[in-house]
Amino acid sequence: MSARPAHAGGVLLLVGVLLLVAGCRPGPRCATCGMKIDPASPWFCSVTIAGKEESFDTPSCAFTAWRKAKAGSLARFREYYSQELKPVDELRFVRGSDVIGPMGPDLVPVSAETAGRFARDHNGAPPRTAAEIVRGEAP
C-alpha cells in the first residue's frame, strides 16, 4: 500500500477544517436570535437597554428585546427609503407589507411623513409608533 493516498486525505481534511474555521469568524450577532449582523444591512437596528447598546438584525428582534426589558432608550432603525439610521421617534412601523426582511415578514421602519403612502403602496397594516408596538397595540 502506498502512503500517498493517506497523506492526500490528511491534507484535504486539514484544508476542510481551516475553511470551516475561517467561515466561523466571530462577529456581531443579534442580541435576540443570534443571527450574524451586517451593520450595512437595510434591516440593522439598535436599542440601548440598561445602558448598553444592543444590535439587532431586524426590527422584530429589536422590539422583542425591548418588550422583554420593559425599558429602552435611544433606539435607532434604518429607514426604508433613505437607508439612514434614524431615531425611533422619527419613524413609524408597518407590519404585513410585501417587503420581506432577512427572516421573513417584518416590521418596516418608514419616516412618519411617508409611512401612510408606504402602507398603501405595499399592502401593509396602518403605520404604528414604536410606543404602540412595545405596548402590544400593533395588529
**Span 2-40, pLDDT tens digits:** 555 556 555 555 555 544 444 555 788 998 999 999 988
79 in Cβ contact with 123 (< 8 Å) = no
| DSSP labels, 14-31 | HHHHHHHHHHT----B-T
What is the spatial distance between Cα 54 and Cα 58, in angstroms, rounded to a whole number?
12
Q: Which three cell numbers stand for residue 98?
A: 410585501
pLDDT tens column, 103-132:
899 999 999 999 999 999 999 999 999 989
- For 97, the 3-state DSSP assignment is coil
| Strand stretches in 2-137, DSSP E | 45-49, 52-56, 73-78, 85-87, 91-94, 100-101, 104-105, 108-111
